[in-house]
Chains A and B, each alone.
Chain A
Amino acid sequence: SSWWSHVEMGPPDPILGVTEAYKRDTNSKKMNLGVGAYRDDNGKPYVLNCVRKAEAMIASKKMDKEYLPIGGLADFTRASAELALGENSEAFKSGRYVTVQGISGTGSLRIGANFLQRFFKASHDVYLPKPSWGNHTPIFRDAGMQLQAYRYYDPKTCSLDFSGAMDDISKIPEKSIILLHACAHNPTGVDPRQEQWKELAATVKKRNLLVYFDMAYQGFASGDINRDAWAVRYFIEQGINIVLSQSFAKNMGLYGERAGAFTVICSDADEAKRVESQLKILIRPMYSNPPVNGARIASMILNTPDLRKEWLTEVKGMADRIISMRTQLVSNLKKEGSSHNWQHITDQIGMFCFTGLKPEQVERLIKEFSVYMTKDGRISVAGVTSGNVGYLAHAIHQVTK
């Protein structure tokens, strides 16, 4: 007999299931719109030029492979903080922050979750928007936190339920933790406008909530890194000492290199040092110290003026292609003769789009047209190309007319 006889088979990952089915499909017109990674206009993965250059520069330096400090590569963490906060940020310049390198977005979120579990005694309730990235809930749960929700997405309009969100958030018990997507909300693509962010900040401040920002798409959403970080920076300027998780998976295409960072805005530099010491104590028994490769690449790019400029151009290029696909999808739907309002497709932002399609319609798209997406009607716009956007519009029209 085995120690593991009672171990249940874990449920299959819903998104992987989409890709598995796509792979088996023999239809030459098939489209994988489940993929959460950027694709170029030929549907291929895209390695940024600035990344290739950074890699060549790193290789030529012939560096050793000695362990990084527990908190990661200092040049990387400092540059990550500056990227998020802005070089003119008072919090950044005064040093009243700590940034540790994390294993991309997930690892950074998890470090933060563990830190809050251990040191935020006021509450273990984390409020997520409805809906949120599927992995948020298990991350916080495994860290020992409880999950709650606030209204966010309005399926009737395929946009933000702002009054519902404000209503719910104004009733969140004081000192609870609220998680906000900094930009390019995943999975809906629905972001608050700046005036709405201002109202959210005021409410959150009034309720004395601890704000946890998840920023996985800085630069990738609008094409402008400063615009995409506006909410994060505004909140800090309003005196809200946020915690923040960053990922460089999408905006630098460094997916498998796991480059990310977790930041805590503190009262002062002394507090930041104390917080840092506790973060290290959390990290050490997880994986000792972080992987160097992605951090070195990101650091090289952020800290080398020419590469940084090139990166900003490339990230804008990716964002622009996504925006262009949104526009083309809507115009193609019009050309097909669809009478529905598809404005939300161009109103939404980032990699993902909540189409508003119902499960039955999604199933038809998969079965009849080999267009693969998740059952909630979410598509990854990154999987759309100028070569297949017409087909996609045709398919969507067929199942919605």
Chain B
Amino acid sequence: AYRTDEGQPWVLPVVKKVEQMIASDNSLNHEYLPILGLPEFRANASRIALGDDSPAIKENRVGSVQCLGGTGALRIGADFLRRWYNGNNNTATPVYVSTPSWENHNSVFMDAGFKDIRTYHYWDAAKRGLDLQGLLSDMEKAPEFSIFILHACAHNPTGTDPTPDQWKEIAAVMKRRSLFPFFDSAYQGFASGSLDKDAWAVRYFVSEGFELFCAQSFSKNFGLYNERVGNLTVVGKDADNVQRVLSQMEKIVRTTWSNPPSQGARIVAKTLASPQLFDEWKGNVKTMADRVLLMRSELRSRLEALGTPGTWNHITEQIGMFSFTGLNPKQVEYMVKEKHIYLMASGRINMCGLTTKNLDYVAKSIHEAVTKIQ
């Protein structure tokens, strides 16, 4: 989760404002939302992902399902795919998850009933960047119609995203081999500070004519973690197909949670629907993204100033909340035990944990770990 420079959680100012508006609106009650969710939320959420001028939206071939966070959106999408994709109830369809990935991806698809969950190359530890050749090679070898979980931006946990040109190569292979793109978009806006930039990959795939799913989370970019606000965007060939898909997703939702929680969706819908609040929100998002970007550049410059062995440009080239530092397990153990700096054994650090007060200490500690321990 995001932290301020004081190391505190941050409720976005625009969220506080909108919550007060909701609280003082006596016309609002606690009645059930429709099964698929709050209509104003669904439409605005998909619009954010696909863009105001999205041809798919104009052509009325976009569907949306309000879900419980990004996890819920992934799960409803996975449940639907298991029932209806590549035949009926084809649990043998391979599902590909990047190595590494968010560890819950595996569990979501497994519990949805898929029997063959595989990995695709992603992180190149030696060069500390994207293993594009490995990734493309896995896509070439994957059985036709395999499902690929793609991180829309700010790959979790590596922070390493394909460049636009690399995305184009990925899309070309996926199109040729009839692979299904299931985007996980948990950080739109939060990664670069720009909603449009962070949605580039998803929109490119749409423009290339793909049918796809995009699981959106508003946990990070709205700071609404515990309200469980998510949206599953469905892009199909035409309105009729999308309508039938949604009718079946409705049946899945009905036996999972019946209808979604209203509070978080109301906050997001109200914000996105008002030009003024929308601008305010974008400002809040940029504040968060900028702080993370600042911490990245400050950490890198300190390490370079200290002459810490190795190269540290990956710290600023990576994007989003997390960074794969390149520290090995022994060095990580040193950081935890000797320096009381907590990071994952993989060397992943949460950039949000850095503050102007602790930057020097963290940089020095990394320097020690790298020089003392090989």
Contact = CB atoms under 8 A, between A and B. Distances in A.
Contacts of A55: 23
Nearest to A140: B255
A37 B32 contact: yes
Given A66-B1, A103-B258, A138-B255, A37 B31 contact: yes
B248 interface: yes
Interface stretch (B124-132, B222-230, B317-325): B222-230
Given A51-B30, A142-B252, A257-B30, A287 B71 contact: yes
Interface residues of B, number: 62
B251 A287 contact: no
B117 to A, nearest CB: 12
A106 B107 CA distance: 22
A71 interface: no
B244 A4 contact: yes
Most A C-beta atoms less than 10 A away, residue of B29, B211, B226: B226
Interface stretch (A7-15, A266-274, A346-354, A376-384): A7-15
B180 interface: yes
Contact of B260 (A47, A253, A258, A282): A258
Interface in B54-111: 67-69, 71-72, 75, 84-86, 88, 104, 107-108, 110-111
Contacts of A293: 227, 261, 263-264
A105 B1 CA distance: 29
A292 B75 contact: no
Interface string B169-200: 00000000000100000000000000000000
A4 B11 contact: no
B244 A7 contact: yes
Contact of A4 (B69, B236, B261): B236
Contacts of B264: 291, 293
Contacts of B236: 2-4
B237 interface: yes
Contact of B72 (A13, A249, A287, A294): A287
B223 A4 contact: no
A65 B180 CA distance: 34
B241 interface: yes
A66 B241 contact: no
Contacts of B244: 4, 7-10
A255 B68 CA distance: 16
B11 A65 contact: yes
Nearest to B222: A65
A62 B227 CA distance: 15
A289 to B, nearest CB: 7
A4 B25 CA distance: 41
A63 B244 CA distance: 41
B360 interface: no
Contacts of B35: 13
A103 B9 contact: no
B247 A255 contact: no
B226 A256 contact: no
B31 A256 contact: yes
A277 to B, nearest CB: 14
B71 to A, nearest CB: 4
A285 B108 CA distance: 4
Interface in B1-53: 1, 9, 11, 15, 19-20, 23, 29-33, 35
B30 A2 contact: no
A138 B253 CA distance: 11
Nearest to B238: A2
B226 A103 contact: no
A288 interface: yes
A284 interface: yes
A2 B225 contact: no
B231 interface: no
Given A3-B211, A65-B11, A257 B261 contact: yes
Contact of A258 (B15, B85, B107, B261): B261
Interface of B: 1, 9, 11, 15, 19-20, 23, 29-33, 35, 67-69, 71-72, 75, 84-86, 88, 104, 107-108, 110-112, 180, 211, 219, 223-228, 236-238, 241-245, 247-248, 250-252, 254-264
23 contacts: A5-B241, A8-B244, A10-B248, A55-B23, A59-B23, A66-B1, A67-B219, A67-B225, A67-B226, A107-B257, A141-B255, A142-B255, A142-B256, A255-B30, A256-B31, A256-B259, A281-B107, A285-B108, A285-B112, A288-B228, A289-B228, A290-B68, A291-B264
State the 5 A-B residue pairs at the shortest beta-carbon distance, nearest first. Answer: A10-B247, A287-B68, A285-B107, A106-B258, A103-B257
